[in-house]
Amino acid sequence: MISRVVILVLASLFVIAYMSEAEIVTDGLIAYWTFDKGYEDGEDIVGGHDGKIFGSPKRVAGIVHEALEIGGPDDYMEAEIPAKLLDDGATLEVWFLQEKPTTFGVMMYMGPDKADLNIDPERGGRSELWCYDARGIEGPAGLSDGNWHHSVGVVSKQGQIHYIDGVNVGENPNAVVFDVMSKVTIGKRPGTQWWWPGMVDEMRIYGRTLSEKRG
């Protein structure tokens, strides 16, 4: 009979091999939700910050293996990240696919009122890194085109940087400080009906700032 220790070691080796294959930056990585089969829908395979899934989001083909499809205002995920892990700032990273800008919603939110990544239909389907009191950055329009895109938001005491598909699309000098437990919500703005219609995959949070070279 295989012991629990052996199972945990094998699972750890599988995760390491998975991240190596996908060429994932691991330095500073504190949460990683793949949404792949073989894992629970909200499982964080790195930091143990497992999310709770609400509603009935679908697991569909993603940019890497499987993704999560948000189909309505009741479909979302919630997790929590201790503020002490974000003392040096944070990098939010996600792959997304949206076919048309049908509503105002948020792909990935960290709160209360710290930072979110979203596509805003009211601004022509533009991407946004929005940091509320610290304001934010608008990126390019036309991203609700049915193709996969890569969005990264870098936030810290030194300011904010927004990347789309590996390109720096804007910077903001206003500081962002995580001083309380941060709630991570995927698929909607917490406490509202502002849900985001689309697919999300390979969602990661780093406890440090990454550059466009992801180093």
Least confident of 65-74, 114-123, 149-158, 190-199: 114-123
Cα–Cα distance, 212 to 152 (Å, whole number) = 9
Summarize the confidence of residues 166-193 as an average pLDDT.
92
If DSSP codes are grouped into helix, strand and coil, which group holds residue 123? helix
DSSP 68: E
- Does position 12 have pLDDT exceeding 90, yes or no? no
Q: State the pLDDT at residue 5.
A: 34
Q: State the pLDDT at residue 18.
A: 41
DSSP 181: P
- 75-116 pLDDT tens trace: 999 999 999 999 999 999 999 999 887 777 788 999 988 899
More confident residue, 203 or 192: 203
Long-range contacts of 175-180 (CB under 8 A, 24+ apart): 175/134, 176/89, 176/90, 176/114, 176/115, 176/131, 176/134, 178/83, 178/86, 178/87, 178/90, 178/110, 178/114, 179/83, 180/83, 180/112
Summarize the confidence of residues 183-201 as an average pLDDT.
90
Q: State the pLDDT at residue 81.
A: 95
More confident residue, 70 or 105: 70
- 32-66 pLDDT tens trace: 999 998 777 799 999 999 999 999 999 999 999 99
- 128-167 pLDDT tens trace: 999 988 998 989 988 989 999 999 999 999 999 999 999 9
Q: State the pLDDT at residue 11.
A: 34
- Domain residue ranges in the chain: 26-206
Return the closest-CA partner of residue 188 out of 68, 106, 67, 92.
106
- Does position 20 have pLDDT exceeding 50, yes or no? no
Q: What's the start-to-end Cα distance of the chain, in Å?
A: 43
- Does position 13 have pLDDT exceeding 70, yes or no? no
* CATH class of this structure's domain 26-206: mainly beta
Q: State the pLDDT at residue 212.
A: 63
